[in-house]
Amino acid sequence: MKRTSLSLDDDTALALEREARRRGTSVSQVARDALAEQFGLTGGGPRKLPLAALGRSGRRHTARDLEDELAAEWDRAGGR
């Protein structure tokens, strides 16, 4: 496991601490759970790839516009 430091605004830090108390677990565990959920790493199944269906776009110039297509698909999937 890798240690990482985060800077949080007061409201976020307070919400994180409250959730940890509510669950009876550590702040670190709540943060790990939230990040895993955000990045689609929960559930144990295969991750959804935002570009998996790119080949079925119905557009004729997908190769030419690949960077734009990938950026749009990534944004739709919340991968900013």
H-assigned helices in the chain: 10-23, 27-38, 66-76
Query: Can you give the pLDDT at residue 24?
Result: 97
23's CB contacts (< 8 A; 6+ apart) are: 29, 30
Q: What is the pTM of this model?
A: 0.55
Query: Can you give the pLDDT at residue 53?
Result: 62
Q: Does residue 79 have a pLDDT over 70?
A: no
Tell me the per-residue pLDDT of 15-61, one tens digit each, with 9 for 90 and over: 999 999 999 999 999 999 999 888 878 777 766 666 666 566 666 77
